[in-house]
């Protein structure tokens, strides 16, 4: 599929943490990040642990604020965006499979998976049917569908998370270790889901420690260690935050 | 509001617009210069520790306290209301029709001397329902929705557990399908399992009825699961606001960083 503008586009993005509890120390973790992912493409974020793969992914999802630069999904600029516009982008366009399942306790598995569709106005019956289809494909036993996934094993929770992330055909998808803690059969199902998403034109950014999985579904790699800040910034020299710093002893 | 803003799509119009809301208790600040918007279908969490002004803010909105300064505009079913300028009868009509206030202590929001059914039915009668059979039927239906056995419709709330009382209070408030629900620590003082049940209930009602809610709480785990957006208050001032997971995962203000790092795990 050819399209001139990327679905996911990061340009010159930097991330710094200002640690107010530690005398306002500024911790630069990323600078000059660049990434462009077109519809139908899957790009793997690579690099040793701690180099910022998850940081970059969170900047693309909008739960980390970029200190500078531009982060765009479907033409939507995160920098300076209103919270509710980000909410809408996530609801309609940008899916995210995180490593951890964060859901209201007691809500049945089937409803957890169907929820993103409900938020889009899909009728409950159809939403549940689509959710059931995915859970079946991901070999989550039907006997578990009425139970809260918080009681499930790690691998089962992972598959619930994946089902939730694939239940709506998001044009942009972020996958954080989608095949971790899965057996071979389920791993194959997830890789199929990723291939199908690419075929329908989704732009995907993924973190895969599983090198074989990465090789199977990813078109390119983006080594985030290239975005490491060159040298640490001296503490408290650059108070970018307009809020006053709490007095800290020492 | 500018002409351009008025020309925007209807769904882009806030349900509630709060500007510069200030409440002083003598020389002490209750809340100061609080401004925010709330859009239809949105859940806004207001967090902060005790004394941060979050409950004062909620009580000013609900008209239980008189604000000293500021303005609150509400886009009602019948047009725009300047909420702080409403007469007392107008305010009370609003509070029993389009708005609802869920108190932290269910005893403050329930009438303990009358039955569960009457507690729910009363709000219906206040908006003009007269047919006894229909009122009772609707009350029973709502007890079921908040997972109270409708067979207990004639019991008084005093016979219920704390969690059931809180659910009864929610039924009483939501039976008239309000458009805006204000909640003060709705899960405070409840067992964890009951909290979860209540969170699920509130989420479902927000989604199914399309209502908007402002939830005041000190519990970050509650807002993580319930709120679309967060306002963080400290010493009566708003120190940070934004998307819930952004504020919790990447807090910017010193106080928010302290708050987030003080909980075991959110």
Cβ contact, residue pair A20, B257, below 8 Å? yes
The structure's pTM equals 0.88
* Torsion from C-alpha of B231, B235, B237, B241, nearest 10 degrees: -20
Closest chain B residue to A241, measured at CA: B252
- d(CA A34, CA B123) in angstroms, rounded, equals 57
- d(CA A38, CA A3) in angstroms, rounded, equals 7
Identify the three-state secondary structure at position B114.
coil
Neighbours of B227 (CB within 10 A): 25
- DSSP label at B11? G
pLDDT in tens, B212-245: 999 999 889 889 988 999 999 999 999 999 999 9
Model pLDDT, residue B71: 97
Facing A243 at nearest CB: one of B197, B246, B252: B252
Closest chain B residue to A62, measured at CA: B246
Model pLDDT, residue A231: 55
Confidence of residue B21 (pLDDT cuts 50, 70, 90): very high
Q: Nearest C-alpha of chain A: how many angstroms from B203? A: 9
Cβ contact, residue pair B253, A18, below 8 Å? no
Cβ contact, residue pair B228, A118, below 8 Å? no
Contact indicator for B34, B220 with CB cutoff of 8 Å: no
Model pLDDT, residue B9: 46
CA angle A103, A182, A215 (to 5 degrees): 115
Confidence of residue A247 (pLDDT cuts 50, 70, 90): very low
Q: Single out the residue of A169, A154, A152, A161 nearest to residue A190, CA to CA.
A: A161
pLDDT in tens, B151-198: 999 999 999 998 899 999 999 999 988 999 999 998 887 777 777 777
Confidence of residue A232 (pLDDT cuts 50, 70, 90): low
- d(CA B43, CA B53) in angstroms, rounded, equals 19
Model pLDDT, residue B8: 41
Cβ contact, residue pair A246, B255, below 8 Å? yes
Model pLDDT, residue B147: 86
Facing A21 at nearest CB: one of B39, B196, B258: B258
Confidence of residue B266 (pLDDT cuts 50, 70, 90): low
With a cut of 70, say whether residue A180 has pLDDT above it. yes
Facing B243 at nearest CB: one of A20, A83, A103: A83
Contact indicator for B190, B166 with CB cutoff of 8 Å: yes
**Contacts with A86 from chain B: Cβ below 8 Å:** 243, 246
- d(CA A103, CA B200) in angstroms, rounded, equals 10
With a cut of 50, say whether residue A250 has pLDDT above it. no
Contact indicator for A121, A168 with CB cutoff of 8 Å: no
Q: Single out the residue of B28, B34, B69 nearest to residue B233, CA to CA.
A: B34
Interface predicted TM-score (ipTM) over 0.90: no
pLDDT in tens, A98-120: 988 888 888 899 999 999 999 89
Burial of residue B35 (number of CB atoms within 10 Å: 0-12, 13-18, 19+): middle
Contact indicator for B24, B31 with CB cutoff of 8 Å: no
């Amino acid at each position: 599929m050819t399209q001139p503008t990327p679905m996911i586009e990061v340009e010159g993005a930097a991330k710094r943490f200002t640690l107010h509890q530690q005398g306002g120390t500024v911790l630069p973790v990323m600078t000059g990040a660049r990434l462009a992912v077109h519809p139908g493409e899957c790009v793997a974020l690579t690099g040793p642990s701690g180099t910022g793969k998850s940081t970059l992914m969170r900047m693309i999802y909008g739960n980390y604020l970029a200190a500078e630069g531009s982060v765009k999904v479907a033409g939507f600029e995160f920098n300076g965006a209103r919270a509710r516009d980000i909410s809408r982008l996530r609801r309609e366009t940008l899916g995210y499979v995180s490593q951890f399942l964060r859901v209201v306790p007691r809500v049945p598995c089937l409803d957890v998976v169907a929820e993103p569709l409900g938020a889009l106005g899909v009728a409950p019956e159809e939403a549940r049917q689509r959710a059931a289809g995915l859970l079946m494909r991901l070999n989550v036993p039907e006997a578990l569908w009425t139970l809260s996934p918080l009681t499930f094993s790690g691998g089962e929770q992972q598959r619930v998370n994946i089902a939730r992330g694939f239940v709506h055909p998001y044009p942009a998808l972020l996958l954080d270790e989608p095949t971790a803690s899965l057996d071979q059969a389920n791993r194959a199902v997830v890789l199929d889901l990723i291939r199908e998403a690419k075929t329908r034109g989704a732009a995907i950014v993924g973190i895969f420690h599983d090198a074989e999985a990465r090789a199977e579904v990813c078109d390119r790699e983006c080594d985030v260690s290239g975005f490491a800040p060159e040298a640490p910034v001296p503490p408290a020299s650059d108070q970018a935050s307009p809020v006053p710093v709490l007095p800290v002893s020492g | 509001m500018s002409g351009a803003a008025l020309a925007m799509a209807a769904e882009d119009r806030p349900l509630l617009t709060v500007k510069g809301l200030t409440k002083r208790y003598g020389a002490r600040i209750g809340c100061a210069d609080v401004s925010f918007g709330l859009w239809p279908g949105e859940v806004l969490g207001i967090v902060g520790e005790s004394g941060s002004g979050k409950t004062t803010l909620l009580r000013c909105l609900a008209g239980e306290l008189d604000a000293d300064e500021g303005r609150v505009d509400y886009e009602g079913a019948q047009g725009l209301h300047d909420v702080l300028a409403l007469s007392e009868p107008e305010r009370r009509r609003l509070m029993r029709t389009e708005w609802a206030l869920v108190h932290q202590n269910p005893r403050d929001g329930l009438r303990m001397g009358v039955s569960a059914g009457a507690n729910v039915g009363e709000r219906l009668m206040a908006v003009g329902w007269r047919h006894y059979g229909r009122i009772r039927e609707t009350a029973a239906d709502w007890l079921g929705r908040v997972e109270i056995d409708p067979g207990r419709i004639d019991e008084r709330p005093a016979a219920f557990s704390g969690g059931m009382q809180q659910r009864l209070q929610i039924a009483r408030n939501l039976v008239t399908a309000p458009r805006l629900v204000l909640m003060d620590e709705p899960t405070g003082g409840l067992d964890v399992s009951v909290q979860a049940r209540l969170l699920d209930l509130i989420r479902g009602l927000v989604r199914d009825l399309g209502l908007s809610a402002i939830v005041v709480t000190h519990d970050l785990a509650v807002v993580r699961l319930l709120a679309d957006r967060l306002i963080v208050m400290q010493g009566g001032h708003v120190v940070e606001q934004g998307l819930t997971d952004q504020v919790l995962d990447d807090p910017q203000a010193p106080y928010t960083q302290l708050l987030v790092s003080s909980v075991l795990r959110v």
